[in-house]
Each structure stands twice: as C-alpha cells, then as structure tokens.
C-alpha cells in the first residue's frame, strides 16, 4: 500500500491529552451505521478508490477539519439521551488511517461519565498493517463492533473495482476474528459486477472462517453520489450502470448465506 499521510493527525496538542483527528463531517442522528441511533463521525482520507464510492470528497488527505476529541465529546453529550440504545460510529474515509485519534475517541466514549457508550468502526480494512498489527491494539481494544466492507470476493476483480489488492482487508478480518470482535459484513451489489448468485456464494465462502460475523448487509448500488464526482471534476467509472434492483437482494443474500454454510461444513469435515 502506498503510504498516506494525514498532516497533523494523531498529534497531541500541549493543552490536550488526546490526539487530533481530521474529520470530514458529523451526523448526529444516524440510523444505518450500527445498532440504534448513532453519533456518526466521518473522517477524512481514504487509500481506496472504489468505483461506486458515494463520498469521493472524503478521499483527499488534505481536506476536512482538524478536530479534538473534546469537541466531539461535547457534540455527543449535547444529544446523549438519544444514543442510549445506540452509540458512536466512526466512518469515512478510512478511520484506520488515524488509529491514535480513533483509540482516544473510543476510550473516552467507553469511560463516559453518563455510562459506557457502544463504539462501532466502519472500515474497508485496507489501512490495517498485518506486519505490524500492534499499531492497532489500542483502537481495537476499544472497539465493540466493526462494519467491514468487503468489495469483491475475487482478488483480481477487487483490484479492478477499488484499485487495491484485498490481502490487507482479509488480514484485518482474520485479526477481528482472532479478537472475537463482533463484525457485520457490508457488501455493495453492483449490476454486472457483483450481482450474480455465483459471486455472492463466493463471498459467503470467503467470510465463512470468521465466526465472529453477526450480521450481513447487502447494499444495493445507487447513483446518488454521482453529482459529487461532477462537482469535483472526477470521472465516474460506472457511468451508465443502472441502480440495483432491490427486489433481488433477498435472493443474493441467500446465496451468500448458502456459500458460508457450505464452506463451514467443508471446514468442519476437514477437521474430522
């Protein structure tokens, strides 16, 4: 992976015990990024270039605003009553590019004087370094759930779709399984790319060894982010691809589950 540097992030100001983070935006009443109503922080910077990304404005490592953990805590506390059955989710961009900031934020949330706050990480996993997993100990020790985005089950097709090899992502999945952190798999279904039963069954086989997976979200491809590409002057790689027919989602979800079941049976038989 080409190194990405977010200037100023993870630094600790003299007047603060916590690292700074580069944040794109905040959503105070999120209902789709983890259980319950959530305070969602979208961080800036991402190493992947997914063809269907609906937040290309989060890619640049130079965008966003430098934010303190204290500021986010104040924002959270102003509506904390709404989050009692939910919590905080950090999405992006790619949060793992800012591990110290993320660890500090989640630690503060776990030690909230009004009660422990559920923490959730929405990640593609590509910023994880399998050669130095210890760099992520602090943040994963404070993470209750991960929404893990798996873009494609085939390595070659994955690179075509995202510009990145999936090896780091799979290593991150293995690390989460080792730690027994609850994982919800997210998978965008794109017409002509990931919308066949065969591809979905491959996905099920891929994630089968991870027994910490507690949920599966099949997300239909949409074109709501295209306007951002036009505004940023970025060519949209999926020009002309129609939005996914949502009526097919149950069928494709069943294919993933079938692939997972088959692979787990194979693994069990192999053990004897």
Domain boundary assignment for the chain: 21-271
For residue 133, the tally of other CB atoms under 10 A from its CB is 16
Long-range contact set of residues 236-245: C-beta below 8 Å, sequence gap at least 24: 237/51, 238/51, 238/52, 238/190, 241/190, 241/191, 241/192, 241/193, 242/191, 243/191, 244/189, 244/190, 244/191, 244/195, 244/220, 245/191, 245/220
pLDDT, averaged across the chain: 94
Cβ distance 120 to 146 under 8 Å?
yes
Stretch (H or E) spanning 169? helix 167-179
As a whole number of Å, the CA-based R_g of the chain is: 19
State the pLDDT at residue 127: 97
State the pLDDT at residue 8: 55
State the pLDDT at residue 17: 76
How far is 221 from 192, CA to CA, in rounded Å? Answer: 11
Paired tokens of 244: 């996914």
State the pLDDT at residue 2: 43
State the pLDDT at residue 271: 84
Nearest-CA neighbor of 8 among 53, 42, 43? 43
CATH code for residues 21-271: 3.20.20.70
Question: What's the pLDDT tens digit per position in 69-96?
Answer: 999 999 999 999 999 999 999 999 999 9
The burial of 249, by beta-carbon neighbours within 10 Å (0-12 exposed, 13-18 middle, 19 or more buried), is given as middle
Which residues on neighbouring strands pair with residue 119, listed in sequence order? 88
Beta strand 21-30 with 38-43: parallel, antiparallel or unpaired? antiparallel
Dihedral pair phi/psi, residue 251, rounded to 5°: -60, -45
For the chain of 272 residues, list the mean pLDDT of each consecutive stretch of 10.
Answer: 52 73 96 97 97 95 94 95 96 96 98 96 97 98 99 97 97 98 98 98 98 98 95 96 97 98 96 77
The burial of 234, by beta-carbon neighbours within 10 Å (0-12 exposed, 13-18 middle, 19 or more buried), is given as middle
């Amino acid at each position: 992976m080409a190194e990405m540097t977010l200037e100023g992030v993870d630094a600790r100001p003299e007047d603060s015990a916590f690292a700074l983070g580069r944040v794109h935006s905040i959503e105070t009443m999120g209902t789709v990024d983890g259980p319950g109503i959530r305070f969602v922080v979208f961080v800036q910077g991402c190493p992947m270039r997914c063809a269907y990304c609906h937040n290309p404005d989060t890619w640049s490592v130079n965008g966003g605003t430098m934010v303190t953990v204290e500021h986010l805590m104040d924002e959270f506390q102003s509506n904390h009553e709404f989050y009692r059955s939910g919590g905080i989710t950090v999405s992006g961009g790619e949060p793992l590019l800012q591990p110290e900031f993320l660890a500090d934020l989640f630690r503060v949330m776990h030690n909230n004087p009004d009660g422990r706050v559920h923490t959730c990480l929405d990640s593609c996993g590509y910023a994880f370094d399998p050669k130095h997993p210890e760099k992520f100990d602090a943040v994963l020790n404070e993470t209750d759930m991960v929404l893990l985005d798996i873009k494609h089950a085939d390595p070659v097709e994955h690179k075509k779709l995202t510009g990145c090899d999936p090896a780091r992502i799979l290593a991150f999945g293995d690390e989460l399984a080792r730690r027994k952190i609850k994982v919800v798999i997210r998978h965008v279904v794109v017409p002509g790319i990931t919308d066949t039963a065969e591809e979905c069954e491959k996905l099920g086989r891929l994630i089968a060894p991870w027994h910490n997976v507690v949920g599966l979200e099949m997300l239909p491809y949409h074109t709501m982010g295209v306007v951002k590409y036009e505004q940023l002057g970025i060519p949209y790689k999926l020009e002309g691809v129609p939005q996914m027919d949502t009526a097919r989602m149950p069928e494709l979800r069943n294919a993933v589950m079938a692939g997972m079941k088959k692979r787990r049976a194979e693994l069990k038989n192999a053990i004897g």
